[in-house]
Structure 1
């Protein structure tokens, strides 16, 4: 039977139209882990190209999330353009300051990510903690930038800024981030409310239960849940945690391993801390996940050339990291789960 060419063309058009309306599924952890591994194939050459004129020696030490992984030099051009075009509504950062920052050497690191162009982590020289992390995805014309800070300092609080522009509250420390989306040829757009899941919350019982690990009296608050940004220099993942802290002479008791949220944090004195989820960039938005593979939350390493974990590090002590049976990070046995 001969097929009517007009009907065939119509049917194909309908199929393509339907396909274009279907939103692609979020990449799973296997894909995220494999793409986020630094220094592989084509990604390695692009990373090296963006760092070519920078000093990436082991002596460059700066603030988190770079720590001792920083290069020193002029920022990649797209990050310079973003800084210059940031809206004036971004607190404690006016146009002249943005221009000065954009033209000055800064601390940064280029990281293989989920797009054609590598991601960039930059710690900006400022009187307060101020850093930017770019996230690429499947659309080469779209980049999302996570911005933390800056804050006012003591001098600005007494006259550097108008009185109505108060400093950020202590509750905002490692919680108050802004996500900007930049489409090619358009100014940055604040998309925090649409691309970021809600901040983690505690039940009343949890507020009472965790208070003793934080202060001698009173209960815990949701502001005590902070983001661990230490892996941003290697993967597009952050983590909501609540860590026991010493306040004055008060020494909090150890959190028991039986606590429903407890996991052993090697970098917090091998003590139990409370887990409130991973914040994962999936190529299109931030996604809250209960678990991720070890490849997406690797050990910390010392210096940009090192790939070895500390001798005492044991990833299996963290019950929110899933094991993988393959050598390839994030392989088919990855059982990462998301919050719904």
Structure 2
């Protein structure tokens, strides 16, 4: 894979950069040019979707990036990276039972907020040029079609959970997100959303969630958020696994 540095092969030498030392998502990554399958996906996403020019993405692919190879559902490893661009672009492959089943998750500046002045700007990508000046992160899923075109299959593979009226009333506006924190350990995702704040308009540091709504099962609560079950990649699809009392997939 032409990695320039890997922690297992260079135990006696320090990481060559801060990014190679690891992040919250990538623990002790290798550093080098991205695996070709991830780079190909990053370059093929339409600029109108991700709001980053192909020229900028091509340059990122010529620079060393941190990445990990992780065990997946195939004889081939899955790969995960956080590309060094503003707030970061996360990519992860989910190898399929057959190569045609493989899908790719991308988290990056997909959501343009130029015309949404009331949306909080925390974590925004301030973009230098193009059709969008400011964007928030969103998660998309891509797959190569039989005609070798990259298709957005998010709605088919990872539809957002249907919320009850009680859940909708308890959630902070625009807080439903895909949690990626387990992706370097296992092919597991989960939807979660923040409960409303007791003090609307307060800064994120002063966030205090409201009480869990009456009748909401305790297994739904996760540190001030509502949890909507795990999505576990089985080699062909993301199967839904409810959360157990311990907080882990059943």
Q: What does residue 73 of structure 1 align with?
A: 32
Superposition pairs for residues 191-210 of structure 1, below 5 Å? 191-196=153-158, 198-208=159-169, 210=170
Once the two structures are superposed, the pairs formed by residues 205-244 of structure 1 within 5 Å of their partners are 205-208=166-169, 210=170, 220-221=172-173, 223-244=174-195
Distance in 2 (CA, whole Å) between partners of 1:200 and 1:206 is: 11
In the aligned structure 2, how far is the partner of 1:250 from the partner of 1:89?
34
Give the deviation of 1:75 after TM superposition.
Answer: 1.3
Shift of 1:185: 7.6
| TM superposition score normalised by structure 2 | 0.73
Deviation at 1:166? 5.2
Paired residue secondary structure (2:74): coil
Q: Does the C-alpha gap of structure 1 residues 61 and 256 become closer, same or farther in structure 2, counting only changes over 3 Å?
A: farther
Could you say if the C-alpha distance between residues 205 and 193 of structure 1 is closer, same or farther in structure 2, counting changes exceeding 3 Å?
Answer: closer
Instruction: Work out which of the residue numbers 32, 51, 64 in structure 2 matches 1:92.
Output: 51
Shift of 1:79: 2.1
Given candidates 202, 208, 230, the residue that maps to 1:278 is: 230
Q: Encode CA deviations 1:72-131: one digit per residue, 9 max, x unaligned.
A: 221112223333333344322222112111111001111010112110001011012311
Q: CA deviation at 1:187?
A: 3.0
Larger relative contact order (CA 8 Å, sep ≥ 6): 1
Structure number having the greater strand percentage: 2
2:80 — aligned with what? 121
Q: Counterparts of 1:230 and 1:287 in 2: how far apart (Å)?
A: 18
* Greater C-alpha Rg: 1
Please list, as runs of the form range in 1=range in 2, the aligned pairs for 1:10-159 lying within 5 A after superposition: 50=1, 53-56=4-7, 60-66=20-26, 68-150=27-109, 153-154=125-126, 156=128
Say if 2:5 and 2:32, in contact at 8 Å, map to a contact too.
Answer: yes
- Give 5+ residue unaligned stretches, structure 2: 111-123
Q: Deviations over 1:152-171 (max 9, x none)?
A: 73352xxx223xx35335xx
Give the conservation status (yes or no) of the 8 Å contact 1:113–1:235.
yes
Contact in 2 for aligned 1:257/1:263 (Cα 8 Å): no
Shift in Å, 1:202? 2.4
Whole-angstrom CA distance in 2 between matches of 1:281 and 1:253: 33
Q: Could you say which residue in structure 1 is the equivalent of 2:116?
A: none
Select the structure that is richer in helix.
Answer: 1
2:246 is the alignment partner of 1:287: no
5+ residue gaps, structure 1, are: 1-49, 212-219, 266-270, 293-317, 323-335
Q: TM-score, normalised by structure 1?
A: 0.55
Contact 2:193 2:225 in 1 (8 A): yes
Residue equivalent to 2:135: 168
Shift in CA distance, 90/276, structure 1 to aligned 2, threshold 3 Å: same
Number of residue equivalences? 222
What is the CA-CA distance between 1:250 and the residue it aligns to? 5.3
1-structure distance, mates of 2:214, 2:75: 42
What are the superposed Cα offsets for residues 134-190 of structure 1, whole Å, 9 maximum, x if unpaired? 01011135531111113673352xxx223xx35335xxx4xx322111258823222
